[in-house]
Chains A and B, each alone.
Chain A
Amino acid sequence: MKQSIKKNQTQQSLADSIKAGLYKLWSFPGGIKLPGNKSQSNHQPITSAKTARQLVIPLNQHIGQAAEPVVQVGDKVLKGQVLGHAHGIISAPVHASGSGIVTAIEERPIPHPSGLSALCVVIDTDDYEQCVEYTPLIRENKVSEAQAGETRENSADEQSITALSNEQINSQIADAGIVGLGGALFPAAAKLHTAEKMHTDTLIINAAECEPYITCDDVLMRYRPEEVILGILLIKKVVGAKKCLIGIEDNKPEAYEALLSAISGYTHAHKTAQTEPQIEIIPVPARYPAGGEKQLIQVLTGKEVPSRGLPMDIGIICHNVATAAAVYQAVYRGEPLISRIVTITGGAVKVPQNMEVPIGTPIRDVLTQAGLNEEKIEKVIMGGPMMGFALPSIDIPVTKATNCLLISEKDELTTPPPAMPCIRCARCSDSCPMSLLPQQMYLYAKSRELDKLQEYNLFDCIECGCCSYACPSNIPLVQYYRYAKNEINNKTQERNKADLARKRHEFREERLEKAKLAKAEAARLRKEKLAKKKALDAEKAKQEEAKEASSDDKSDSTASEKSAANTTAANSADLIQEAIARAKIKKAQQQSQRKNTENLTEDQQNQIDEANERRSKNSQIE
């Protein structure tokens, strides 16, 4: 291994080799040495899976808001067509991974530890594999030509990389629905956009792939190193990073060499260009979890990501090699993320291999194509043995997150040993790569002391499983932390909801109070107005009286006054009588109109009685 590295270094320029020799590596605390179990699956070249009869494509395959479906049941879709648009800032679109007809948009089980369902687009595929027309930003050069060193074409492509604007590349990445394929599934375009704004100076490419059994990144680097390197260059350009480090575990010498030769091929081809790729590949010691984002950063740069912070806080952005390859595909071929490489391995697999599987292919299909005997399957784990989870069934689609399918044979698993009490041996804290105190957190999680857990920085836990592995009492420590994290998040959510409810309630009370005051004010004003009017009327009457008195004779005036009073009284009495008569007529009319409630059947009458009863009850409650 070391020899091979040395051999390659001689191929590099002298300055580079000195630099590489001088490159200092740091270390992260804790961690454990695990058997790699990678050799089973990383020798075969990548095979590609056939498109299944039916594809089930979940609309939420990323962190953030689910994509909004833009197709309808019965629509004919082509391969690469958008099925759902990104919805919100942190979201990614979803594309059809085969051509066919949309037969349903409904809830289907998705790969998730809960085994719950989520909205999926179901496509019954046809045999035509029709593609939408892709619009690449750069015309693709044959990779083999680049390897052969066809300088002219390659320099053209170098120029075209620099000619592209960051927005162009980023929008292409966003449209392709690329998410972090290392496992976090964060939409890549959103991450790059933030990194661009935050003036990130170091780009770290995570090629460590530290979990046992998984080899999908390994074979990607072995068989498509040029795609990885060009993808990295694109990401580097968008981020504006000054340097780029590729961290690769030292148990992948073949991938290391492939990347090195791809870089040297690239520099050879670009002798004329002034810019060097400035990518350094650094082998890091294989120790789980060296591929954890924070751990890799610590090993490569010696910097620690602050508690509850992001790598961007210390001017670093981290991307996975598979993400870089996806970026390459999006920019050079215009192809969205509609397939991914999946490692199929485990005791029940005769020929462990890596397969490029269209997103949405049912796992059952993948397994039959890999030549598995379904009866022999005991359990299918998605992800690695340390951080993966058992799938409730195999009729679940492959998603952007599916990096590995670990299939265990019947009789391969023994019943798990029972959990024993904690003996405070502190092996868990020795193995914790985040320098936490697992045994203390375990006790607090068990007694549900959530405040204390936060004091002990529970949220810095990366759930790598080192502590559970190291525990001699077989305590499922990570489960306790996951559970406690959920509880805390839930509590904050409830609190936020309560605060919102309180605000709304207070607002309503205030509004009602205001309405009441306004009503009272209006009533007061009306009264005042009425009083004023009365006063005015009275005054007018007085004035008239005075006029009459002055114009007429004294005897006449008294007589006319009396008669006037009599007539007004008589008039008002008449008016009242008239009004009563009108009301009576109206009532009679209404009653005559109401006759449609008569001649009811017994059933109808019963229904009415019931309703009346309910109403009276309700009014009583009120």
Chain B
Amino acid sequence: MLSGILAFIALASFFGLVLGLASVLFKVESSPVVDKIDALLPQTQCGQCSFAGCHPYAEAIAAGEAPINLCPPGGDNLIQSLADLLDVEVLQMDADEDANQGPTVAVIIEDTCIGCTLCIQACPVDAILGAAKQMHTVIESECTGCELCLAPCPVDCIEMIPVKQTVKNWRWPAPQYNANNQAAETIFTTLDHVLAENAKP
């Protein structure tokens, strides 16, 4: 009887020690769910979700305080992948229909810029270069198109322009699957005339 009790006390204290040590040694700094959600968000830091950035929004989603449909830059693809990750229902985007019209970048009209540095302070990703009373410019490759620099500009010299389509970023169109398929990849009329019919531009 006594030996049994002692044995269990010994076991319990041993495991308690192991677990206690493990909780100190393998401590997880932040919630893994938040990181996973954050990894899916587009990181524009635009605040259209009414949170102060992508990470706060991820935290809110993880805590169940915000729905998954508040991110217009992420679009429907984001809602889908968030729904898959969190195993919740797919929701309709909570924004105007024309809110998201493809990627854009900010461009400063240099003739008008007065060098007030207000946009530099507003940019969440430090994509604007310049100094007081010097002309500012946007580093195009770093700009996320969040539009946060538009409001502070006192002379309205920042414009959002759509990203230009070039040969490098052009994508093949999705094939149409219908009865009048005009986009057949390869068709052969006769054996003598092997000719391809490709996607019409």
Which A residues form the contact surface with B (CB < 8 A)?
34-35, 37, 60, 110, 112-116, 118, 212-213, 346-347, 379, 381, 384-386, 388-390, 392, 406, 408, 412-414, 416-419, 446, 465, 468-469, 474, 476-480, 482-483, 486-487, 490, 494, 497-502, 504-505, 507-508, 614-615, 618, 621-622
Contacts and interface: CB of A to CB of B under 8 A. Distances in A.
Contact of B183 (A392, A476, A501, A622): A476
Given A479-B183, A482-B172, A505-B125, A499 B167 contact: no
A502 B198 contact: no
Given A381-B195, A479-B199, A618-B154, A465 B186 contact: yes
B100 interface: no
Contact of B42 (A379, A385, A498): A498
Given A114-B167, A386-B196, A412-B189, A479 B172 contact: yes
B156 A116 contact: no
B45 to A, nearest CB: 5
Contact of B195 (A413, A477, A499): A413
Interface stretch (B7-15, B17-25, B173-181): B173-181
B197 interface: yes
Interface string B54-97: 11000000000000000000000000000000000000000000
B156 A505 contact: no
A505 B142 contact: no
Nearest to A211: B194
Interface string B139-173: 00010100000011110100000000111001111
A35 B187 contact: no
A622 B122 CA distance: 11
B184 interface: yes
A324 to B, nearest CB: 28
A508 B127 CA distance: 11
Given A392-B201, A508-B126, A465 B185 contact: yes
B182 interface: yes
Interface residues of B, number: 53
B192 A37 contact: yes
B188 A469 contact: yes
B53 interface: yes
Contacts of A118: 166-167
Nearest to A480: B175
B195 A618 contact: no
A423 B154 CA distance: 63
Task: Give chain B's interface secondary structure class.
Answer: loop
B184 A419 contact: yes
A384 to B, nearest CB: 8
Interface of B: 38, 41-45, 53-55, 124-127, 142, 144, 151-154, 156, 165-167, 170-175, 177-189, 191-201
Contacts of B126: 504, 507-508
Contact of A501 (B45, B193, B194): B45
B8 to A, nearest CB: 48
Contact of B53 (A408, A490, A505): A505
B43 A389 contact: no
A433 to B, nearest CB: 15
A508 B189 CA distance: 62
A502 B54 contact: yes
B184 to A, nearest CB: 4
A477 B181 CA distance: 13
24 contacts: A35-B191, A112-B170, A114-B165, A115-B201, A116-B166, A346-B193, A346-B195, A347-B195, A385-B194, A386-B186, A390-B200, A390-B201, A392-B201, A416-B181, A416-B184, A416-B187, A418-B178, A418-B179, A474-B184, A476-B183, A479-B183, A482-B172, A486-B172, A622-B151
Given A116-B167, A480-B175, A483-B174, A413 B186 contact: no
Given A390-B197, A390-B198, A414 B189 contact: yes
A35 B194 CA distance: 8
A501 B43 contact: yes
Nearest to A500: B142
Contacts of A384: 196
A-B interface, 6 closest residue pairs, ranked by CB to CB distance from nearest = A476-B185, A416-B184, A498-B43, A501-B43, A115-B201, A486-B171
A504 B142 contact: yes
Contacts of B174: 483
Given A386-B196, A618-B151, A110 B125 contact: no
A408 B190 CA distance: 13
Contact of B167 (A110, A379, A476): A110
B43 A499 contact: yes
A406 B186 CA distance: 14
Nearest to B173: A483
Given A113-B172, A347-B193, A474-B181, 14 more contacts: A346-B193, A379-B195, A385-B188, A389-B196, A419-B177, A465-B185, A478-B185, A479-B172, A479-B183, A482-B172, A483-B173, A498-B41, A615-B154, A618-B154
Given A113-B172, A385-B194, A413-B195, A505 B43 contact: yes
